[in-house]
Structure 1
């Protein structure tokens, strides 16, 4: 018995075989591609979720730090006011005023550098005067702390205004608060 295949059948079989082989190759390439794409999407989602959590934790930590700094700043301000009251009650002692100015530097760390930046030829006594004016002290209170007369305080304020270049209508206290 001789086995003979019809050419039409052979052609259909060849087409089916090539099509099946093509589908197998396409499936062999696309299935891993789709799986990798889904895996990348999952990893990206996890990364986004972790970065959001990280940002939330960072904001929480920074807000805690800010609130802690604000509490410390308020405490230092109240301590500064207490030490200032003590200096004003007693006669001026050099050690207490040095403590006051060191506490002032802790509360306003950039005050001296920023005032020296705005007024390059300012003296140490004028910086002390500016610090006391920053605390909104009157001329009498400043005179007690610096152990000078209130008239001397007014003269020093006048000279400071001239050095800064403020006019009579400009407020020295407002200028110092904005430093």
Structure 2
């Protein structure tokens, strides 16, 4: 028995075999590629969701931190005013005034350095005067804290305005307020 294959059948069979083999190779390459692509999309989605959660948590933590710092700042400001009232009432200058100025530095940490940058030849007494003026105290209250007369306070203010270079219409308090705001 001789086995003979018709050339047309052989051609159809070859085409079917090559097509099947081609589909198998394409499937062997395409299916893992599609599965990897879907897996990468899922991982990217999970990463984006986690990063969004992380950002929300970071914002919440920073907001709480800011609130806590604001509360501490308000407490320090009220403590500063109380210590200033105690200094004025008791007329005990040295220990309490040192506490006042250290509290002032806690509330406005860069005030002195900013003031020294703006006015390079400023003295320590003028810095104390500026701190008290920054608190918007009257000449009488400043004189009680520094243990000098109100006229001396006015003269010191005049000299300070002259050293700063402020014009008569310019406000010294606003100048000091801008320094403390630019420092914070």
How many residues end up aligned between the 2 structures?
A: 179
Offset, 1:137: 0.3
The gaps in structure 2 that reach 5 residues or longer are 180-184
Which residue is equivalent to 1:131? Answer: 131
Q: Report the Cα distance in structure 2 between the residues aligned to 1:119 and 1:42, rounded to whole angstroms.
A: 61
The gaps in structure 1 that reach 5 residues or longer are none
Contact in 2 for aligned 1:92/1:147 (Cα 8 Å): no
Q: Does 1:20 align with 2:20?
A: yes
Q: Report the Cα distance in structure 2 between the residues aligned to 1:51 and 1:120, rounded to whole angstroms.
A: 48
Aligned-residue CA RMSD (Å): 0.7
Q: Report the Cα distance in structure 2 between the residues aligned to 1:45 and 1:116, rounded to whole angstroms.
A: 53
Off by >4 Å, runs of 4+ in structure 1? none
TM (normalized to structure 1)?
A: 0.98
Offset, 1:144: 0.5
TM (normalized to structure 2)?
A: 0.95
* CA displacement 1:79-111 (0-9 Å, x = unmatched): 110110011111132011001000111111111
Q: Report the Cα distance in structure 2 between the residues aligned to 1:90 and 1:126, rounded to whole angstroms.
A: 23
- Map 1:129-168 to 2 at 5 A: 129-168=129-168
Offset, 1:163: 1.1
- Map 1:78-117 to 2 at 5 A: 78-117=78-117
